[in-house]
Structure 1
């Protein structure tokens, strides 16, 4: 089983008013001088109360410090005043994109980049297109959906296409519903990722609609209520749903290993529930698939406009295959990197023609223009799918230590921009 990369977004290139971000306030945040940065934001808001970026920066600082209620209030105030930010194109734009993100339950916080500098990031619920859209060609109107505000906003600038960046229905279902209604009112508008189709990509819905396809193994996935349930009642519910030990559990909306655990005995489940605060829980049947008898493997295709693009063949020594282990394990094993290169160079040949066509065929039932598939090929040739959704992060971070990844990641970027051009033609 796998754990996909955390869905976070660096807000500086995507949302930043360049003049505001590059001034002393942005520099203060980068250096970790948060008191000074917060004071600068407050000063800006005295004269520019509609400065959405100042609200975002201040909210991120408060959230990072654990002041969650204050952070939510500040962000909400900024979005109520002005729910969108226009990111100017570096050159004469060939198109104007309305990029939509949901923040009903997602929050801005701070994280460090590869140089150790602090950056604003939007955590949860949305995919980042920082490395997908060509900022030399497109002007972007970044709209933050909260409390159905997109349905009452009458001053959205003109646009040529909508990119729906809302990616996780467990986190931002209300935002998806609001965007779907907005689209119904607007009529025929060029669009990437219809919100109704994104809403179908929760883990349990994917199991129900894709688990019966020939050649695919999609582990049984059920969502169970944990709020108010004691350990005994939850164990009974798991057993009544036909799960066998070991199985996996995680909180809805979680994309990292923080809440992802393997349960090997009833008392493990009781302890897990006591240590969490979620009102619901995903229970996922563990299906073991070993490479060479002792290794675990996760492959990833991005599907862009109906075509598959290989980007990852991660081999690991633990069942929870995730990006943090790449540098620890794969750099020490040349054969693992050579195996990944083979997958990247010819994904069809590596996994098999029939398996490749089966995965490519998911484009129609899934119905999304852009999404990722994490999977493995089992010994009997069946495809074991771990994840399938648009929440997977497209970035070049791993290419710093694995430079051979770069051209294949660039292929995804190129395909995404060609898709934009095709849709607006």
Structure 2
């Protein structure tokens, strides 16, 4: 007798709430628009009982963009308790495709910012939040293709597990399978990629405060935590992102000072790799992997090892921007060609339809992997006057992403 769980999940016309959305609100904040008047307007609508669910979710995002993460998450929790499905603005009146993004109830950086990838496309985006105690609706909202946008973070584990439980019964193509997203965690990725020729990825392991305290007092050695660990090392609190708490410690005394300034109990540690070039500058790259192919997202150049794009001050250096422009222009024939075998193997092992890689080149010419993620921001917000080479490159990435979605939907239709 066939089990009921083997039957595909059904589909129904969605009861959806419209929202201004992540891309539009984030872009306004990026260019300096004051979001406080809109915040006050939405707060007023909530106070008099006229706010819609989408407006509540927009207010949650605005609060986070204005720096009040705690209030934003509290508002989001209230909204998601009674409504979980939202529609983002679409560039056309009659979309050619409907995509269902499966998200977790987390802060604004915890889900793939898919709206940026679909801007100006003919694709309608529905976002379904998988909420603890609510789960997935059955039947599901009607869609042509679905994609998991929740991250590998601990806060998303229950949402990923709920999706994974029914993934085999999904009635439409399901991209970025949840079991593969879990492999992107910092302490799992290096094990997944171990032994890949041409690739250098330091082992990132979890260490407790007690272990690091013992190490700072010479009661244990680096090798007692993991065999390849040594000073200098990189340390960061577990569960943090965007460089929060990230530090390079050169020895036991520096580690003791670091611990004295932190309250967390669990940390990630890894060996430090000096990836500076001959000119003493560090170069860090972000790649987008779309449907198995790498694309250049940005190149950050700075005199510090802990680079992210904003602290490289690329907008203030014509020389740096010129180098980034060449990197993008020659990417396929240069960077991607140099690392083709390593990238191909990494893409195959990760097994996701879409993700990003933050990387560099070590002094041996190998591809040095810092992080792989499905939620890093890939956007087209930079000024075309300052970065004239970026918009064509971003449009190329966006086109590849929409083509991937359309291809999966068409294959599904042909099979049906």
Question: After TM superposition, is the score higher than 0.5?
Answer: yes
Pairing 1:147–2:132 present: yes
1:213 aligns with: 196
TM norm structure 1: 0.79
2:47 is aligned to 42
| Conserved? CA contact 1:148–1:178, under 8 Å | no
Would you say the 8 A contact 1:84–1:143 is kept in 2? Answer: yes
Q: Pick from 282, 288, 298 the counterpart of residue 274 of structure 2.
A: 288
Matched, 1:315 2:301: yes
Q: How far did 1:269 drift?
A: 2.5
Matches within 5 A, 1:26-425: 30-32=35-37, 34-35=39-40, 37-43=42-48, 46-47=49-50, 51-59=52-60, 68=70, 72-87=73-88, 89=90, 90-103=92-105, 106-107=106-107, 122=108, 124-134=109-119, 136-147=121-132, 149-151=134-136, 153-154=137-138, 156-184=140-168, 186-187=169-170, 189-226=172-209, 231-232=213-214, 236=220, 238-240=222-224, 241-242=226-227, 243-327=229-313, 331-332=316-317, 334=319, 336-351=320-335, 353-400=337-384, 401-425=386-410
Q: Give, in angstroms, the shift of residue 422 of structure 1.
A: 0.2
RMSD of aligned alpha carbons: 3.0
Specify the SS of the correspondent of 2:117: coil
- The structure-2 alpha-carbon separation of the partners of 1:65 and 1:341, relative to structure 1 and needing over 3 Å to count, comes to closer
Contact 2:103 2:111 (8 Å CA) reproduced:
yes
1:237/1:47 CA distance change after superposition, 3 Å: farther
Aligned-pair CA distance for 1:254: 2.5
Consecutive unaligned residues in structure 1, runs of 5 or more:
1-10, 18-27, 108-121
TM-score by length of 2: 0.81
- Secondary structure of the residue that 2:254 maps to in structure 1? helix
Counting matched residue pairs gives 379
How far apart in 2 are the matches of 1:179 and 1:318? Answer: 40
Give, in whole Å, the separation in 2 of the partners of 1:333 and 1:160. Answer: 44
Answer 1 or 2: higher relative contact order, Cα 8 Å, separation at least 6: 1
Other structure's SS at 1:302 match? strand
Give unpaired runs (5+ residues) of structure 2: 1-18, 26-32, 411-416
Distance 1:278 1:33 in 2: 36
Deviation per CA, 1:214-269: give whole Å up to 9, x if none: 1111012101233x777236763745124211111122332212221111222332
Contact kept, 8 Å, 1:128 with 1:393, in 2: the verdict is yes
1:225/1:12 CA distance change after superposition, 3 Å: farther
